Chains A and B, each alone.
Chain A
Amino acid sequence: MYLGTIATYLVGGQAVNMDLQIVFSSILSFVLFFILHVYIFSRIDHSKVLIWIVKTCMIGTIFPLLFALLFSFYFPVFGSSALLQFVVVYLVSFLLYSLLSIGYVLGMFGLLESSLRIRILEKIASRGKEGISKKDINALYKNDVIIAKRLKRFVRSGDISYKNGLYTMKRRFSYFVVHAFIFESMKKIYLSKK
């Protein structure tokens, strides 16, 4: 109510309700996605995370649709048809939900799942005031283990194949192709590196 009053004050007009419906729909969709993600990820095999994070994000796309239906049926916006309200709320909240999920996967989940830096930080923190030597950190993080873990994840996700003792990249479109492309573009744009 308070938010609605502020928003009405800011932009004026009845259609502001639809604006808030979009924001609520996308945030609630993301919250439901997060609950689903926690439920699924506490039950799956760790090496299948790449597949499951994509699947969970896809399953979550149903939520903006459900909220758009709910809002257009039960909270009609004055001066707008139910169909128009449904289409606008669904499309925009779908876009916002997708960006929220991508932001979460890149900014939070990705760090937890594969960041060596975070893992080292946690290890140093676990030793408290006693501290940890570089030798001990190196002993904990062996190159073989770090590489094997990532190869296993890629093989499970289907990005890399393992045949006759050789690892080969598969020619296919995946989340990682997009990810790598953005990084390469950033390097080219900012650092003028190929």
Chain B
Amino acid sequence: MVYLFSSLVFFLLSIFFHVILSHILLYFGKKSILLVSVFAVGGLIHVAVTYVLAGQPEKFDGLFFFPLSVSSSMLYFLFVFIYLVYFLATYSGEESPSLKLFYLLRDEKGRSFSEIKREFPKKEMIDMRIKSLVTGKFVKQNKDKYLILSRGEWLANVFRHYRNLLGWRSSG
């Protein structure tokens, strides 16, 4: 129990420090993805704590101190992974069309297809995404054409194989 609790505590503490540091950077008009390293520090402290607890079984005995070092580290990693998926989506500043649709319709007023369509400018839907692919060095722009780069090709192949595995022809 204590081991699992330690994962949760260090995860929450990492979030706390991550938020504080992000706001400090934001105050100076900056933004950095490197701040996610706070979670690595949190993970290392958690591992150190479990190492200390497990090293003294005569002192920390009983059900509450059941040694779950590997499980609790895995728990910490999964908490961080899921949190970062959400954080990175927020960090990019883009909203997925599904989420935008959800926010738009949740006032329960009811909208027609043409009313909904008006809220989705093409520039936002496609252009922003192409721009982010260029920024991330997945594709490059050559005059009026977009060409795939090796990193992008690798990622595209991963998803192509994944789609084939599920037997899907299209998505997105």
A residues with a Cβ closer than 8 A to B are 7, 10-13, 15-16, 18-20, 22-23, 26, 38, 41-43, 46, 84, 88, 92, 95-96, 99-100, 102-103, 106-108, 111-122, 124-135, 137-138, 141, 143-144, 146-148, 150-151, 153-154, 159-160, 163, 165-169, 171, 176, 179-180, 182-183, 186-187, 189-191
Q: How far is the CB of B90 from chain A (nearest CB, A)?
A: 4
Q: Which residues on A sit within 8 Å (CB–CB) of B138? A: 121
Q: Which residues on A sit within 8 Å (CB–CB) of B96? A: 114-115
In-complex Cβ contact of B171 among A114, A154, A165, A182 (8 A): A114
Q: How far is the CB of B132 from chain A (nearest CB, A)?
A: 7
Q: Chain B, 50-88, contact with A by CB distance < 8 Å: what is the 0/1 string?
A: 110011010000010011111100110011011001110
A125 touches B152 (CB 8 A): yes
* Count of chain A to chain B residue pairs whose CB atoms are closer than 8 Å in the complex: 240
* Chain B count of residues within 8 A CB distance of the other chain: 78
Q: Which residues on B sit within 8 Å (CB–CB) of A7? A: 69-70
In-complex Cβ contact of B67 among A15, A120, A187 (8 A): A15
B residues with a Cβ closer than 8 A to A are 4, 19, 22-23, 50-51, 54-55, 57, 63, 66-71, 74-75, 78-79, 81-82, 85-87, 89-91, 96-99, 101-103, 105-113, 116-117, 120, 122, 125-127, 129-130, 132-133, 138-139, 142, 144-148, 152-153, 155-157, 159-160, 162-163, 165-168, 171-172
Question: Chain B contact residues: over half helix, strand or loop, or mixed?
Answer: helix
A146 touches B120 (CB 8 A): yes
Known contacts A19-B68, A108-B162, A144-B117; A167 and B126 CB within 8 A of each other: no
A121 touches B171 (CB 8 A): no
B55 touches A12 (CB 8 A): yes
Q: Which residues on B sit within 8 Å (CB–CB) of A171? A: 108
Known contacts A11-B67, A42-B166, A146-B120; A119 and B171 CB within 8 A of each other: yes
**Bound CA–CA A41/B162 (angstroms):** 12
